[in-house]
Structure 1
Amino acid sequence: MKLKLDVAEMTEDFFGDAHLLGIVAPVRDYQFCWQLNRQFHFNFRINIGLEIQLNKKNRNYYFPVYEHKEPQFYRNHYIYKNQHDGEYLLPEFRHLDFLWLIKGDEVPSQLIADIQQGIRTISGVQLVVELTNEKIKHKEHLIF
């Protein structure tokens, strides 16, 4: 008997309480997270256990994930690097350097607006945009 993993259901569960921002900022990932930590008084740290591995063209590509937890709000923030060695985590958004995923119980729209505004003040940031679920073709690449 073969068991089949229902990726669609997994993806729906994962993104049920999530918001995703796309960011154009041609800087190194650790520098960007350092700037975010200063701007928002967050504590983004790389989480090796969440690193995304994609296999394309008989080669493995690794995409680091940085994490910040807000336990008082039961909310987590994740920064994904969208590009590694010429491959993209979300190929439909090749122009984006980073993805900021916010997951949690309640994510007020004012928080999203404040984060977008704060990101725009960071040196090197050229664009911040909220990505709607319908536009993301490869959602399964973001699931850890």
Structure 2
Amino acid sequence: MLKMKLKLNIDELTDDFFEDTRLLGITATTKSYRFCWAINNMIGFNFRLNPDIEIHLQKKGRQYFFPVYQFTVPNTDLHHFIYHNQYDGEYLLPEFKHMDFLWLVKGDCFPDEDCYNLIQSVKKINGVQLIAELTNEHIKNKGNLVF
């Protein structure tokens, strides 16, 4: 009897996940639920905590949990996800320790102009100190964002 070993290609899975995405890094002096509440009220989105896609990491024998908020634009295939980048001293993307939140836009085309308008709107939220688009080349641990 032949025994076959199958190996999951994590790099390919990650590349597929990040196809048609944009990632923003945000520094803000607020809790994640308050930040999402402000976005919902000021920009008109409807972010909700999605415990089904919460990111679980195990490092140094400890469990870390990173909440993910989700909003899908009605009648489209455009999904927005906000990750809290820090939990109990550990970071989801350690290369961006200065970023409190990571905003992933995935799905339908999200043109440069829409991204620019979103950035300008988020800058107006009280407590937001910095928002910048993060390019895939600078993300070393992007597999941590895959749910």
* CA apart distance, 1:26: 1.9
1:89 to 66, 83, 92: 92
Shift of 1:105: 1.9
Percent identical among aligned pairs is: 54
Give the TM-score of the pair, scaled to structure 2: 0.96
For each residue in 1:48-105, what CA deviation from the matched residue of structure 2 results, as whole angstroms up to 9, or x when unmatched? 0000000000000000000000132310000000000000000000000000000012
The equivalent residue for 1:7 is 10
State the alpha-carbon separation in 2 of the partners of residues 105 and 94 from structure 1.
29
Residue aligning to 1:125: 128
Instruction: Give the number of the structure whose alpha-carbon radius of gyration is greater.
Output: 2
TM-score by length of 1: 0.98
Give the match for residue 99 of structure 1. Answer: 102
Unmatched tracts of structure 1, length 5 or more: none
Aligned pair 1:54/2:57, yes or no? yes
**Pairs within 5 Å for 1:2-81:** 2-81=5-84
- Residue 119 of structure 2: SS of its match in structure 1? helix
What is the total number of aligned residue pairs between the two structures?
Answer: 144
Residue 112 (structure 1) shift: 0.4
In the alignment, residue 35 of structure 2 is paired with which amino acid? F
CA distance in 1, matches of 2:8, 2:28: 35
Where do 4+ consecutive residues of structure 1 move more than 6 Å?
A: none
Gaps of 5+ in 2: none
